Amino acid sequence: MSVRAGIKKIVSGVGIDPAQLKGRLNGLFHRNAAFNVYHTRFERNAIVAYIVKPFKDPDWVSNHQGAVQIMELARILSERGYNVDVIDYLDPYVRLPRHKSYDLVIAQFPKDCDRYTLHLKPDAVRIAYITTSSTEFNNKAELGRIEALYERKGARLEPYRQIPPITDDIRGYKASLVMGNHRNIGTYDYLPNPYIINNSSKPVDFEVTYDEKSPLNFMYLGSVGQVHKGLDLLLEIFSEPGFPCNLYVCGAYEHEADFFELYARELHRDEAPDEEYCSNIYPMGVVDTSGDIYRDVASKCAYLISPSCAEGKSGSVLTAMMSGIVPIISKESGFDADESILLDDCSIECIRSTILEYSHRDMDWIRETGEHYRQIALSKYTLQGYIDSVNVALDDILNSKQG
């Protein structure tokens, strides 16, 4: 037994939750907060409640766009004359120095338990940072998908994308930065003075060509929450006997044991090599979007198919667009009709018919359309696009305060 395992066993044996103990120790020694990340000496302080790890571990690399964006958000605030502290928005064990007070906060999904609340000056500017639909909409949508899966398959899986509710504290916020569209904003009962900001994806580091793409090849690209994102629906459609299209599954499905077990025949190719109805499903696992496996899949696929129940300008959709892949997505994914092909709904019947419809498009149309969406991504949804949209919003928010 390792030392860590031994300590965990001892702590558990005396009735202490090891995770809670670790969290409290991290808070006590400030391991879960990054203070004055740019070592400035301004008169004003700002705190950002989002993701702290990029500041605590400079060698940490993440494919998620949020890791890069938080670095830029902190830089933007520093350039505006703030000493910037950063904490994790979901960590209840953060402890801030007693003497610290803040002139500005930008917080993802504000909650009444947030640790910065008692450190805000009376006239501090409070800005909410919103990256998806409302917590009520998001949570209900995922649970609805899980219930529908239970009715189809008789198995009840665990939810993976439930978000803690936003409390009425948000009514005291001056504005909100929303990574999504007006449909996302419309899911909130109340959202203070919303400013839409752009998500970002880095351009792919390979040449985008259409020579190997086929209208029969579809990609699924997602992180956690396979039922939330609709992978179950896709696996059931593509595994239908004689279904004429191929599905390349790039996602973290192996990290969700209950889902992986339920769809073993579709996702465990090595265990069911003779199951002909699954021969058109290619489980790729988690892929590095800057790596050779993703490049190979992207070169083959004409379409991304993403029937997610709740997103906010999905980063996976942007990555596909950067790769010249035509996005076919749910209306809940945060994009407007002029930026993607929107499913009428996410019923199996609608998804199936849409896939079959677009599988008959000729390559000239796919090349023209794929390039059209790629140019949208390159012109609007790069890191610079994110930076520009945040600056425009902050110019208005902060200037209106001064006025």
Q: Three-class SS of residue 177?
A: strand
Enter the tokens of residue 156.
């009840």
Nearest to 396 by CA among 122, 71, 101, 176: 176
| pLDDT for residue 29 is more than 50 | no
Residue 28: which pLDDT band, with cuts at 50, 70 and 90?
very low
Mean pLDDT, range 216-241, rounded to an integer: 97
Beta bridge partners of 178: 130, 196
Q: Three-class SS of residue 162?
A: coil
Nearest to 131 by CA among 333, 392, 353, 358: 333
Q: What CATH number belongs to 33-130+166-197+384-402?
A: 3.40.50
Half-sphere exposure of 121 (CA within 13 A, CB side): 12
Q: What percent of the chain has pLDDT over 90?
A: 76
Q: What CATH number belongs to 214-381?
A: 3.40.50.2000
Per-residue pLDDT, 131: 94
**What gap in Å lies between CA 56 and CA 35, rounded to an integer?**
10
Q: Which of 1 and 319 is assigned the larger pLDDT?
A: 319
The pLDDT mean for the chain works out to 89
Domain boundaries, the chain: 33-130+166-197+384-402, 214-381
Residue found by looking up tokens 């191929």 in the block: 246
Q: Do domains 33-130+166-197+384-402 and 214-381 have the same CATH topology?
A: yes
Q: Three-class SS of residue 214?
A: strand
Q: Phi and psi for 172 in degrees, rounded to 5?
A: -90, 5
Residue 112: which pLDDT band, with cuts at 50, 70 and 90?
low
Half-sphere exposure of 397 (CA within 13 A, CB side): 26
Asked if 178 and 184 touch (Cβ cutoff 8 Å), the reply is yes
Beta bridge partners of 106: 48, 127
**What gap in Å lies between CA 128 and CA 179, rounded to an integer?**
11
Enter the tokens of residue 2.
């390792």
Q: How many angstroms separate the Cα of 316 from the Cα of each of 19, 53, 270, 320, 334?
A: 31, 21, 27, 6, 12
Among 105-109, 365-369, 392-396, the least confident range:
105-109
Enter the tokens of residue 14.
């005396």
Output DSSP code: residue 285.
E
Mean pLDDT, range 68-97, rounded to an integer: 92
| Cβ neighbours, 10 Å, residue 28 | 11
Burial of residue 112 (number of CB atoms within 10 Å: 0-12, 13-18, 19+): exposed
Mean pLDDT, range 66-87, rounded to an integer: 95
Work out the angle at residue 317's Cα, subtended by the Cα atoms of residues 298 and 326, and round it to the nearest 5 degrees.
55
